[in-house]
Amino acid sequence: MLANGSEFVFGYALDDPDRIRGISADIVCYDEVQSMILEAIDPVIRECLAASPYKWRVYCGTPLSEENDIEVMLWQKSKQCEWVVQCKSCGAHNILGIANIGPKHIICSRWEKELDVRNGQWGATNPEGTMAGFRTPQIALHRNVCTKEAYGALLEKQRDYTKAQFNNEVLGISDAMGSRLISIGMLKKLSKDYFWEEDRNKQENMAGITSTVAGVDWGGQSPTNVSRTALCIWGIRPDKRLKLLYGKVYPSGHPVQDLEDIARKCQMYGCRFVIGDDGEGMLANAQLRQKLGEHVVFGNRYGGTDGKIRFNNNVNAPGYRSDKTMMIDQIMKGILENQYEFPHWNQFEKLSEDIMAMYEETTQQGRRIWKHAATRPDDFLQAMAFGWLAAKVATGDVVFYQAPNDQ
Tens of pLDDT, residues 280-304: 678 899 999 999 998 999 999 888 6
Q: Kindly state whether residues 163 and 228 are assigned to the same domain.
A: no
Section 152-171 average pLDDT: 91
Asked if residue 256 belongs to a domain, the reply is yes
Assign 3-state DSSP to the chain and report helix, strand, coil percentages, each to 5.
Answer: 35, 20, 45
Q: pLDDT over 90 for what percent of the chain?
A: 57
Of the listed ranges 134-138, 193-197, 235-239, 308-312, the one predicted with least confidence:
308-312
The domain boundary, picked from 62, 84, 111, lies at: 62
- Indicate if the pLDDT at residue 77 is higher than 50: yes
Question: What's this model's pTM, rounded to 2 decimal places?
Answer: 0.62
| Residue 406: predicted pLDDT | 35
Q: Kindly state whether residues 200 and 154 are assigned to the same domain.
A: no
Q: Kindly state whether residues 243 and 303 are assigned to the same domain.
A: yes
Q: Kindly state whether residues 246 and 382 are assigned to the same domain.
A: yes
Q: Kindly state whether residues 107 and 152 are assigned to the same domain.
A: yes
- Indicate if the pLDDT at residue 176 is higher than 60: no
Q: Kindly state whether residues 317 and 386 are assigned to the same domain.
A: yes
- Indicate if the pLDDT at residue 328 is higher than 80: yes
- Indicate if the pLDDT at residue 173 is higher than 90: no
Asked if residue 296 belongs to a domain, the reply is yes
Q: How many domains does the chain have?
A: 3
Section 4-31 average pLDDT: 92
Confidence label for 405 from pLDDT (cuts 50, 70 and 90): very low
CA 220 to chain centre: 15
81-86 and 211-217 strand pairing:
unpaired
Rg (alpha carbons) of the chain, rounded to whole number: 25
Section 387-394 average pLDDT: 94
Q: Kindly state whether residues 164 and 238 are assigned to the same domain.
A: no
- Indicate if the pLDDT at residue 137 is higher than 90: yes
Confidence label for 315 from pLDDT (cuts 50, 70 and 90): low
Helices (H), 56-147: 69
| Residue 226: predicted pLDDT | 62
| Residue 401: predicted pLDDT | 53
Confidence label for 123 from pLDDT (cuts 50, 70 and 90): very high
* CATH number of the domain where residue 256 is located: 3.30.420.240
Task: Provide the 8-state DSSP code for 144.
Answer: G
Q: At what angle do helices 282-292 and 259-268 cross, to 10 degrees?
A: 40
Q: Kindly state whether residues 218 and 298 are assigned to the same domain.
A: yes
* Average model confidence (pLDDT) across the chain: 87
Sign, CA dihedral 296-209-245-197, equals negative
The domain boundary, picked from 173, 195, 215, lies at: 173
Contact at 8 Å (CB) between 38 and 222? no
Q: Kindly state whether residues 149 and 254 are assigned to the same domain.
A: no
Name the more confident of 165 and 402.
165
- Indicate if the pLDDT at residue 330 is higher than 70: yes
| Residue 198: predicted pLDDT | 63
Q: Kindly state whether residues 85 and 134 are assigned to the same domain.
A: yes
Residue 190's nearest CA partner among 346, 342, 328, 350 is: 342
| Residue 310: predicted pLDDT | 85
Asked if residue 317 belongs to a domain, the reply is yes
- Indicate if the pLDDT at residue 275 is higher than 60: yes
Q: Whole domain around residue 54: which residue ranges?
A: 1-62
Section 14-41 average pLDDT: 89
| Residue 364: predicted pLDDT | 63
Name the more confident of 279 and 299.
299
